[in-house]
Amino acid sequence: MTATSDPDLILRVAAKGDGVTSDGRHIAFSAPLDRLNEEGGLIKGPHHVDPPCQHFQSCGGCNLQHLDDESYSQFLIDRVAYALEGQGLKAELLHPPQISQPKTRIRASLRAAKLGDQFKLGFSGAGSHRIIDLKQCEIMAPEMFALMAPLRNFLKKAARRKHDMNIEMTLVDQGVDLLIGNYEPDGLEQREALSDFAQSNGLARLSVDGGYGPETQWEPEPVTVTLGGTAISFPHSCFLQPTRDGQKTLVSAMLETVGEARLVADLFAGLGTFTLALAEDQKVYAAEGARDAIGALKMAANHSTRQIFCEHRDLFRRPLSAEELNRFNAVILDPPRAGARDQIMQLAQSEVEKICYISCNPASFARDAKQLCDAGYKLRQVWPVGQFLWSTHVEIVSSFTR
């Protein structure tokens, strides 16, 4: 009996993380070459490994810890290749994926709540709204996870029953930046307690948001993140790449794509992860719809010798036209998950020589890539990047040329 004719053999892992048999059944938490027994149970195969975290299957943070390195890597490749095939496309070169290591995540969004006599702090449960009280985490940077126990003890005293708090942690240049959402200190005593907690735990910044926007309670020195060797002010809740090694991979692929292009447009530029990685003799136009982010980038650019022009611009409502784009030798774009349909339409009509498209959604990427290829661009290279270790999420860097 061959592998493809055995109906009880898991052949691959589908986009949402379930193993798939040859007859199309989806089996949760199975790996390639696992097998179903007569009772429907799972016989583990050579690619099925013991998950490293005690919360696996209950926590929604990771759902592929049972895959070995080989099958997880193949899963990321398949996510990208199948999305492209669905649009009739194939990259000239699809690189092996670059996967971030455990305990390297530098940002995390958590929930906290008091339920009866219990207080829980952690990620949401898999497919549910319940909170998994984290005692272990194999993805968060150690500096962030070390804060979990003292934060749990502190918030337990401040929490109200059945009142969820949202916790955002980001590792910045000065340490951990902590934002407690859906919480407002009740009086001077609680505000002083917040400052004492921040100081005793060496926080870079502690902020609260009671529904009217973040309010800084503790920030002994201005919080920054270093991008391309430049320290840039870090606004509350601003987007950062989730791992530093993943960011390096994205930047390296971008630099290879853009090369020595003299005039470069960085669209959806954010804080300038890609803008600030370019050479100082390259002139850059950076556009971003988030006012805080582009403001921070503009301030950093004004205090440097780099040739960077920043514009606060909503590229969904007002994409650069083909005529505007024709001024540039290369374009970088890193849109949200929905992609950049309207901006891609203008790029397809332009004469830009090189395009580096960074995406966090294979489906919207493949749709936009199809439009570019139909307009005469060639999809030269694709780099899959697994920054969200053991999840179904994959990021993509791609290179298009005329």
CA dihedral 245, 251, 256, 262 (to 10 degrees): -160
The one-letter amino acid code at 279 reads A
The residues, any chain, with a CB within 8 Å of residue 401's CB and separated by 6 or more, are 353, 354, 355, 377, 378, 380
Q: Which residue has the tokens 């988030």?
A: 290
Residue 68: what residue type? D
Residue type for position 240: L
Residue 360 appears among annotated catalytic residues: yes
What is the spatial distance between Cα 239 and Cα 111, in angstroms, rounded to a whole number?
Answer: 19
Please state, in angstroms and rounded to a whole number, the distance separating the CA atoms of residues 350 and 331: 11
302 CA to centre of own chain: 28
* Residues whose CB falls within 8 Å of the CB of residue 176, separated by 6 or more in sequence, listed in order: 143, 144, 147, 169, 170, 201, 202, 203, 204
DSSP string over 68-127: -HHHHHHHHHHHHHHHHHHTT---SEEPPPEEPPTT-B-EEEEEEEEETTEEEEEPBBTT
Which structure tokens are listed for 397? Answer: 């860097």
Tokens 């301030």 label which residue?
299
> How many CB atoms neighbour CB 139 within 10 A?
24
**Sequence-distant contacts of 1-7: CB under 8 A, at least 24 apart:** 3/33, 6/35
User: H-helix or E-strand containing 197?
Assistant: helix 188-200
State the angle between helix axes of 69-86 and 362-374 in degrees (0 to 180), rounded to the nearest 10. Answer: 40
| Residue of 53, 62, 310, 360 with catalytic role | 360
Terminal CA-CA length for the chain: 48
Active-site amino acid positions: 360
